[in-house]
Amino acid sequence: MLRLRWLGVLCGLVVASVVQANTAEQIVRQALLSMQPDLPIEHISASPMPNLYQVQLKGGRLLYASADGEFVLQGNLFQIENGQANNLTERAERKLLAEQMQGLNKQEMIIFPAQKPQTYITVFTDTDCGYCQKLHAEVPELNRLGVEVRYLAFPRQGLAGDAYNNLVNVWCADDRLDAMTQAKRRKKIASKTCKNPVDKHFALGRTIGVQGTPTIILANGKIIPGYQPAQQLAEQALKAQP
Protein backbone atom coordinates (compact mmCIF):
# COMPACT_ATOMS: atom_id res chain seq x y z
CA MET A 1 0.00 0.00 0.00
CA LEU A 2 2.84 2.39 0.89
CA ARG A 3 4.43 1.75 -2.50
CA LEU A 4 1.16 2.63 -4.25
CA ARG A 5 0.90 5.89 -2.29
CA TRP A 6 4.40 6.91 -3.41
CA LEU A 7 3.52 5.97 -7.00
CA GLY A 8 0.50 8.24 -6.83
CA VAL A 9 2.60 11.11 -5.50
CA LEU A 10 5.20 10.67 -8.27
CA CYS A 11 2.53 10.58 -10.96
CA GLY A 12 1.07 13.78 -9.51
CA LEU A 13 4.47 15.49 -9.65
CA VAL A 14 4.99 14.44 -13.28
CA VAL A 15 1.56 15.74 -14.30
CA ALA A 16 2.17 18.99 -12.39
CA SER A 17 5.51 19.52 -14.14
CA VAL A 18 3.95 18.91 -17.57
CA VAL A 19 1.12 21.35 -16.82
CA GLN A 20 3.63 23.90 -15.54
CA ALA A 21 5.73 23.55 -18.70
CA ASN A 22 2.66 23.93 -20.92
CA THR A 23 1.56 26.96 -18.92
CA ALA A 24 4.99 28.60 -19.22
CA GLU A 25 5.05 28.01 -22.98
CA GLN A 26 1.57 29.54 -23.28
CA ILE A 27 2.59 32.53 -21.16
CA VAL A 28 5.69 33.13 -23.31
CA ARG A 29 3.65 32.83 -26.52
CA GLN A 30 0.98 35.25 -25.28
CA ALA A 31 3.59 37.76 -24.10
CA LEU A 32 5.42 37.74 -27.43
CA LEU A 33 2.24 37.96 -29.51
CA SER A 34 0.97 40.85 -27.39
CA MET A 35 4.19 42.67 -28.29
CA GLN A 36 4.09 41.68 -31.99
CA PRO A 37 0.87 39.95 -33.14
CA ASP A 38 2.38 38.78 -36.44
CA LEU A 39 5.52 37.27 -34.88
CA PRO A 40 5.95 33.95 -36.81
CA ILE A 41 6.32 31.59 -33.82
CA GLU A 42 6.65 27.94 -34.80
CA HIS A 43 7.65 26.28 -31.55
CA ILE A 44 8.44 27.08 -27.92
CA SER A 45 10.41 24.73 -25.67
CA ALA A 46 12.67 24.76 -22.64
CA SER A 47 16.20 25.83 -23.52
CA PRO A 48 19.36 24.16 -22.17
CA MET A 49 19.58 27.01 -19.61
CA PRO A 50 17.24 26.56 -16.62
CA ASN A 51 14.17 28.84 -16.53
CA LEU A 52 14.83 30.11 -20.04
CA TYR A 53 12.61 29.21 -22.99
CA GLN A 54 13.70 28.87 -26.59
CA VAL A 55 11.36 30.39 -29.19
CA GLN A 56 11.74 29.09 -32.73
CA LEU A 57 10.58 31.49 -35.42
CA LYS A 58 9.65 30.65 -38.98
CA GLY A 59 12.86 30.28 -40.95
CA GLY A 60 14.79 28.77 -38.02
CA ARG A 61 15.72 31.93 -36.11
CA LEU A 62 15.68 31.75 -32.29
CA LEU A 63 14.67 34.06 -29.47
CA TYR A 64 14.84 33.42 -25.73
CA ALA A 65 12.32 34.36 -23.06
CA SER A 66 11.92 34.02 -19.31
CA ALA A 67 9.21 31.65 -18.10
CA ASP A 68 6.96 34.53 -17.09
CA GLY A 69 7.34 36.22 -20.49
CA GLU A 70 8.65 39.40 -18.89
CA PHE A 71 12.16 39.23 -20.37
CA VAL A 72 13.06 38.51 -24.00
CA LEU A 73 16.49 38.44 -25.55
CA GLN A 74 17.88 37.96 -29.03
CA GLY A 75 21.42 36.71 -29.36
CA ASN A 76 23.65 33.72 -28.85
CA LEU A 77 23.43 31.38 -25.89
CA PHE A 78 26.80 29.87 -24.98
CA GLN A 79 27.55 26.91 -22.73
CA ILE A 80 30.97 26.59 -21.14
CA GLU A 81 32.23 23.00 -21.21
CA ASN A 82 35.78 22.07 -20.20
CA GLY A 83 36.86 25.66 -20.63
CA GLN A 84 35.40 25.89 -24.15
CA ALA A 85 32.48 28.12 -25.16
CA ASN A 86 29.93 26.27 -27.31
CA ASN A 87 27.46 28.41 -29.23
CA LEU A 88 24.18 26.58 -28.59
CA THR A 89 22.12 29.08 -30.59
CA GLU A 90 24.24 28.70 -33.72
CA ARG A 91 24.18 24.93 -33.35
CA ALA A 92 20.38 24.84 -33.03
CA GLU A 93 19.78 27.28 -35.89
CA ARG A 94 22.08 25.35 -38.20
CA LYS A 95 20.31 22.09 -37.38
CA LEU A 96 16.89 23.64 -38.09
CA LEU A 97 18.09 25.17 -41.37
CA ALA A 98 19.72 21.91 -42.49
CA GLU A 99 16.46 20.05 -41.85
CA GLN A 100 14.52 22.71 -43.73
CA MET A 101 16.81 22.53 -46.78
CA GLN A 102 16.77 18.73 -46.75
CA GLY A 103 12.97 18.76 -46.71
CA LEU A 104 12.58 20.94 -49.82
CA ASN A 105 11.06 19.48 -52.97
CA LYS A 106 13.99 18.51 -55.19
CA GLN A 107 11.73 18.60 -58.25
CA GLU A 108 11.51 22.35 -57.77
CA MET A 109 15.29 22.79 -57.65
CA ILE A 110 17.79 22.80 -60.50
CA ILE A 111 20.33 20.19 -59.48
CA PHE A 112 23.79 19.59 -60.92
CA PRO A 113 24.68 16.11 -59.63
CA ALA A 114 28.15 15.06 -58.51
CA GLN A 115 29.96 12.28 -60.31
CA LYS A 116 30.46 10.42 -57.03
CA PRO A 117 28.20 12.30 -54.60
CA GLN A 118 29.52 12.78 -51.08
CA THR A 119 27.59 15.86 -50.01
CA TYR A 120 25.55 18.75 -51.38
CA ILE A 121 25.20 22.50 -51.17
CA THR A 122 22.03 24.54 -51.61
CA VAL A 123 22.57 27.84 -53.44
CA PHE A 124 20.21 30.80 -53.69
CA THR A 125 21.10 32.23 -57.10
CA ASP A 126 20.35 35.02 -59.55
CA THR A 127 21.40 34.48 -63.16
CA ASP A 128 22.31 38.18 -63.54
CA CYS A 129 24.68 38.11 -60.53
CA GLY A 130 28.38 38.25 -61.47
CA TYR A 131 29.58 36.13 -58.57
CA CYS A 132 26.78 33.62 -59.24
CA GLN A 133 28.09 33.33 -62.77
CA LYS A 134 31.63 32.87 -61.45
CA LEU A 135 30.47 30.15 -59.04
CA HIS A 136 28.50 28.39 -61.77
CA ALA A 137 31.59 28.22 -63.99
CA GLU A 138 33.15 26.10 -61.23
CA VAL A 139 30.18 23.76 -60.75
CA PRO A 140 31.83 21.03 -62.89
CA GLU A 141 34.81 21.10 -60.53
CA LEU A 142 32.53 20.95 -57.48
CA ASN A 143 30.75 17.99 -59.03
CA ARG A 144 34.07 16.28 -59.72
CA LEU A 145 35.04 16.75 -56.07
CA GLY A 146 31.84 15.04 -54.91
CA VAL A 147 29.64 18.08 -54.24
CA GLU A 148 26.11 18.16 -55.65
CA VAL A 149 24.88 21.70 -56.36
CA ARG A 150 21.20 22.41 -55.72
CA TYR A 151 19.92 25.76 -57.00
CA LEU A 152 17.06 27.83 -55.60
CA ALA A 153 15.92 31.05 -57.29
CA PHE A 154 16.47 34.42 -55.62
CA PRO A 155 15.91 37.45 -57.88
CA ARG A 156 17.77 40.19 -56.04
CA GLN A 157 15.56 43.00 -57.37
CA GLY A 158 12.35 41.28 -56.30
CA LEU A 159 9.46 39.67 -58.09
CA ALA A 160 9.53 41.80 -61.25
CA GLY A 161 11.99 42.91 -63.90
CA ASP A 162 14.53 41.22 -66.15
CA ALA A 163 16.30 39.22 -63.42
CA TYR A 164 13.01 37.75 -62.25
CA ASN A 165 11.88 36.98 -65.81
CA ASN A 166 15.23 35.30 -66.58
CA LEU A 167 14.84 32.99 -63.61
CA VAL A 168 11.29 32.11 -64.65
CA ASN A 169 12.57 31.34 -68.16
CA VAL A 170 15.27 29.06 -66.73
CA TRP A 171 12.87 27.17 -64.47
CA CYS A 172 10.35 26.78 -67.29
CA ALA A 173 12.88 25.62 -69.90
CA ASP A 174 12.69 22.10 -71.32
CA ASP A 175 16.31 21.55 -70.31
CA ARG A 176 16.70 23.52 -67.11
CA LEU A 177 20.35 22.60 -66.53
CA ASP A 178 21.37 23.84 -69.95
CA ALA A 179 19.19 26.94 -69.58
CA MET A 180 20.86 27.75 -66.25
CA THR A 181 24.30 27.37 -67.80
CA GLN A 182 23.45 29.51 -70.83
CA ALA A 183 21.86 32.21 -68.65
CA LYS A 184 24.94 32.28 -66.41
CA ARG A 185 27.05 32.75 -69.55
CA ARG A 186 24.93 35.81 -70.37
CA LYS A 187 23.34 34.04 -73.31
CA LYS A 188 19.72 34.82 -74.16
CA ILE A 189 17.32 31.98 -73.50
CA ALA A 190 13.80 31.54 -74.82
CA SER A 191 11.02 33.31 -72.95
CA LYS A 192 8.68 30.82 -71.41
CA THR A 193 6.11 30.75 -68.65
CA CYS A 194 4.86 27.87 -66.55
CA LYS A 195 3.95 26.99 -62.99
CA ASN A 196 7.28 27.63 -61.26
CA PRO A 197 8.75 27.95 -57.74
CA VAL A 198 10.59 31.28 -58.20
CA ASP A 199 8.22 33.25 -55.97
CA LYS A 200 8.28 30.48 -53.36
CA HIS A 201 12.08 30.30 -53.34
CA PHE A 202 12.33 34.08 -53.01
CA ALA A 203 9.94 34.07 -50.04
CA LEU A 204 11.92 31.26 -48.42
CA GLY A 205 15.17 33.17 -48.88
CA ARG A 206 13.72 36.28 -47.29
CA THR A 207 12.43 34.24 -44.37
CA ILE A 208 15.83 32.73 -43.54
CA GLY A 209 17.66 36.03 -44.01
CA VAL A 210 19.16 35.82 -47.51
CA GLN A 211 20.29 39.30 -48.52
CA GLY A 212 22.43 38.67 -51.59
CA THR A 213 23.55 36.04 -54.04
CA PRO A 214 25.06 33.60 -54.12
CA THR A 215 24.04 32.50 -50.64
CA ILE A 216 25.36 28.99 -50.06
CA ILE A 217 24.01 26.63 -47.40
CA LEU A 218 26.07 23.57 -46.51
CA ALA A 219 24.52 20.23 -45.57
CA ASN A 220 24.90 20.99 -41.85
CA GLY A 221 23.06 24.31 -42.16
CA LYS A 222 26.10 26.60 -42.15
CA ILE A 223 25.56 29.66 -44.33
CA ILE A 224 28.30 31.01 -46.60
CA PRO A 225 27.20 34.49 -47.72
CA GLY A 226 29.00 34.80 -51.03
CA TYR A 227 31.29 33.25 -53.60
CA GLN A 228 34.17 30.97 -52.66
CA PRO A 229 36.56 29.15 -55.06
CA ALA A 230 35.58 25.55 -55.80
CA GLN A 231 38.45 23.90 -53.94
CA GLN A 232 37.90 25.95 -50.79
CA LEU A 233 34.12 25.53 -50.95
CA ALA A 234 34.36 21.78 -51.53
CA GLU A 235 36.65 21.36 -48.52
CA GLN A 236 34.10 23.04 -46.28
CA ALA A 237 31.18 21.20 -47.82
CA LEU A 238 32.77 17.79 -47.39
CA LYS A 239 33.41 18.48 -43.70
CA ALA A 240 29.89 19.76 -43.10
CA GLN A 241 27.98 16.54 -42.72
CA PRO A 242 24.46 16.82 -41.22
Q: Stretch 161-165: mean pLDDT, rounded? A: 93
- Which amino acid is present at 137? A
Region class of 161: left (phi > 0), else alpha (psi between -120 and 50), else beta: left
**Active-site residue, selected from the candidate residues 29, 126, 128, 172:** 126
Which among 159, 191, 166 has a CA at the least distance from the CA of 180? 166
Which among 199, 204, 210 has a CA at the least distance from the CA of 129? 210
Q: Is 172 a catalytic residue?
A: no
Is residue 8 scored above 70 in pLDDT?
no
Per cent of the chain over pLDDT 90 is 60
Q: Is 194 a catalytic residue?
A: no
CB 193 within 8 A of CB 172: yes
Q: Is 91 a catalytic residue?
A: no
Sign for the CA dihedral angle at 176, 179, 183, 188 comes to: negative
Q: Which CATH architecture has domain 100-239?
A: 3-Layer(aba) Sandwich (3.40)
**Active-site residue, selected from the candidate residues 132, 174, 175, 185:** 132
Count of C-beta atoms within a 10 Å radius of residue 188:
9
Q: Is 11 a catalytic residue?
A: no
**Active-site residue, selected from the candidate residues 29, 61, 94, 129:** 129
Name the pLDDT band for 22 (thresholds 50, 70, 90).
low
| Reported pTM | 0.81
Is residue 15 scored above 70 in pLDDT?
no
CATH of domain 2-75: 3.10.450.70
Which among 173, 131, 165, 115 has a CA at the least distance from the CA of 123? 131
Domain ranges (residues) in the chain:
2-75, 100-239
pLDDT tens-place string over residues 176-231: 999 999 999 999 999 999 999 999 999 999 999 899 999 999 999 999 999 999 99
pLDDT tens-place string over residues 78-95: 998 888 899 998 999 999
**Active-site residue, selected from the candidate residues 29, 61, 156, 172:** 156
Name the pLDDT band for 242 (thresholds 50, 70, 90).
low
